[in-house]
């Protein structure tokens, strides 16, 4: 069930407690990038919710389980991918009291950008399984990549607090999100590579001997895989330069991407790297049959982060320093996107104050208040966000219902 992007009615059930923000109209004409209207239908614990905003920061407070992160997740679906939880689309459907799921959810938003307002609608069509539909300004989009061309969205969640000490999969997701902010076509390349890799793995499991089909899939993997690796290298080099020059309360991070294909690109042209990857995939079919995957390719690359002042890898830093490094990377990415694309991304900061000392919390709130894009911040203790009073829109969340606060 996809909500078409249109002028919504003045109230939609659970939205009633929230009035129109006096700055909403001004926000639409502002140069601040942000969401000025958000409408949810059957999304997690929100049956129906409408929120009108200006482009100022938004602070969401309330007890655990109230629906704060669900709102940020809805916002994250204004960009390509599976959202900040990396969830199956059907798992997002609202559930009735008896546990039965409503078939299909929808998110609709009006976004203020420097090129004018954009209306976005997206959701899961209950009849189409895990397919996500997207509409932009009332028209069906050619794919999710079109979202990345309209708005940038970056997020930080409590699950990412362990980013540096767990496996590389989450770091690759962060890396690809960073690349996407600079190159919206990156999502399409990653999707084509992963689809070809899954199809090749299926042929290997089935014991297929169709050499032509293997060759065609491996050709796609080689072409898209080298393009993915090259985009990652370029983005990390640019972001590392911004991080290296950063000053302030947050530690300087140094970044590098580590992978076989990326190392080839240090030694040879992209076309030669494609030929080498194509040949390696063909050579390793037997081994990949035994392992059940592909032993080589950008799906095995990793993002390496170093604490510059201490000269230690991020995984050796304290919990608070790791959180500060992540924030430093996101702030540097916002600066880089503003420089290269003309406008910074919307930031979604879930429980961001956790593990930060008072000085860094204050510094972060000062930065958020001065951003040229909207930031959404969540927490359980409204007092923590006192420095943002008079600057941010404060909303209290309780059982999927929003109220103005502060």
- Average predicted confidence (pLDDT) for the chain: 90
d(C-alpha 206, C-alpha 200), whole Å = 10
Q: Is residue 166 a part of any domain in this protein?
A: no
Express each pLDDT in 292-305 by its tens digit.
889 999 999 999 99
Q: Residue 273: which domain range?
A: 172-341
Q: Are residues 278 and 363 in the same domain?
A: no
Q: Do residues 61 and 177 share a domain?
A: no
Q: Please, are residues 345 and 337 in contact by the beta-carbon 8 Å criterion?
A: yes
Split into its structural domains, the chain has a count of 2
Mean pLDDT check: name the lowest of 45-59, 121-135, 266-280: 121-135
Task: Give the confidence band of 29 by pLDDT, cuts at 50, 70, 90.
Answer: very low
What pLDDT score does 406 carry?
A: 60
Strand partners, 123: 106, 133
- Which pair of tokens denotes residue 324? 């500060």
Q: Is this model's pTM higher than 0.95 or not? A: no
Bridge partners, 401 (sequence order): 398
Per DSSP (E only), the strands in 100-147 are 106-113, 116-124, 132-136, 139-140
- pLDDT for 148-158, tens place per residue? 999 999 999 99
If asked whether residues 349 and 331 sit together in one domain, one would say: no
* CA triple 136-171-200, angle to 5 deg: 75
Quick one: tokens of 3? 């909500």
For every residue of 168-215, DSSP letters joined together read HHHHHHHHHHHHHHH-TTHHHHHHHHHHHHHHHHHHHHHT---HHHHH
Looking at the fold, whether 352 and 334 belong to one and the same domain comes out as: no
Instruction: Put residue 228 in one of left, alpha, beta given phi > 0 → left and psi -120 to 50 → alpha.
Output: alpha
**φ, ψ dihedrals at 138, nearest 5°:** 85, -5
166-194 pLDDT tens trace:
999 999 999 999 999 999 999 999 999 99
Show the DSSP H helices in 304-378 as ranges. 319-341, 358-369
Please state which of the ranges 23-37, 189-203, 253-267, 385-399 shows the lowest mean pLDDT.
Answer: 23-37
Provide the angle, in degrees to the nearest 10, between the axes of the packed helices 211-245 and 260-267: 80
> Is the same domain home to 187 and 138?
no
Q: What is the DSSP letter of 380?
A: S
Q: Tell me: do 104 and 206 sit in the same domain.
A: no
**Chain segment 235-246, per-residue pLDDT in tens:** 999 999 999 999
What tokens appear for 331 in the block? 């702030």
Same domain, 334 and 373: no
Distance CA 223, CA 193 (A): 8
Asked if the model's pLDDT at residue 404 lies above 80, the reply is: yes
Cα(381)–Cα(214) distance, integer angstroms: 56
Same domain for 38 and 122, yes or no, is: yes
34-43 and 106-113 beta bridge pairing? antiparallel
Mark whether 139 and 178 lie in a shared domain.
no
CB atoms closer than 10 angstroms to residue 9: 9
pLDDT digits (tens, 9 = 90+) for 323-358: 999 999 999 999 999 999 999 999 999 999 989 999
CATH number for the domain harbouring residue 375: 3.40.50.300
Comparing 349 with 15, the larger pLDDT belongs to 349
Nearest to 120 by CA among 178, 39, 60: 39
């Amino acid at each position: 069930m996809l909500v078409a992007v249109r002028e919504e009615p003045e109230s939609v059930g659970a939205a009633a407690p929230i009035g129109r923000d006096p700055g909403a109209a001004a926000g639409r004409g502002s140069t601040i990038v942000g969401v000025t209207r958000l409408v949810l239908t059957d999304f997690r614990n929100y049956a129906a919710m409408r929120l009108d905003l200006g482009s100022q920061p938004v602070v969401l407070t309330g007890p655990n389980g109230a629906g704060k992160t669900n709102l940020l997740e809805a916002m994250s679906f204004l960009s390509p991918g599976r959202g900040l939880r990396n969830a199956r689309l059907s798992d997002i459907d609202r559930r009735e009291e008896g546990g039965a799921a409503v078939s299909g959810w929808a998110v609709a938003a009006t976004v203020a950008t420097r090129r004018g307002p954009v209306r976005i609608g997206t959701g899961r069509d209950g009849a189409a399984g895990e397919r996500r539909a997207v509409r932009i300004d009332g028209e069906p989009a050619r794919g999710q990549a079109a979202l990345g061309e309209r708005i940038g969205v970056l997020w930080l969640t409590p699950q990412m607090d362990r980013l540096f000490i767990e496996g590389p999969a989450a770091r690759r997701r962060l890396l690809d999100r960073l690349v996407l902010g600079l190159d919206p076509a990156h999502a399409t390349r990653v999707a084509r590579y992963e689809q070809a890799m899954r199809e090749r793995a299926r042929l290997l499991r089935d014991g297929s001997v169709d050499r032509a089909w293997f060759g065609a899939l491996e050709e796609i993997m080689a072409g898209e895989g080298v393009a993915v690796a090259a985009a990652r290298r370029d983005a990390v080099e640019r972001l590392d330069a911004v991080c290296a020059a950063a000053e302030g309360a947050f530690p300087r991070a140094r970044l590098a991407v580590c992978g076989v294909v990326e190392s080839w690109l240090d030694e040879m042209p992209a076309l030669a790297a494609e030929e080498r990857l194509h040949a390696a995939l063909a050579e390793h079919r037997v081994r990949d049959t035994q392992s059940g995957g592909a032993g080589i390719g950008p799906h095995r690359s990793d993002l390496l982060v170093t604490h510059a002042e201490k000269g230690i890898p991020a995984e050796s830093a304290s919990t608070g320093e790791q959180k500060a490094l992540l924030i430093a990377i996101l702030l540097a990415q916002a600066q880089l996107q503003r420089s290269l694309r003309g406008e910074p991304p919307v930031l979604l900061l879930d429980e961001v104050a956790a593990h930060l000392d008072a000085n860094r919390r204050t510094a972060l709130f000062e930065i958020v208040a001065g951003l040229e894009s909207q930031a959404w911040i969540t927490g359980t203790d409204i007092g923590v966000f006192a420095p943002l009073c008079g600057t941010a829109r404060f909303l209290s969340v309780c059982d999927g219902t929003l109220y103005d606060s502060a």
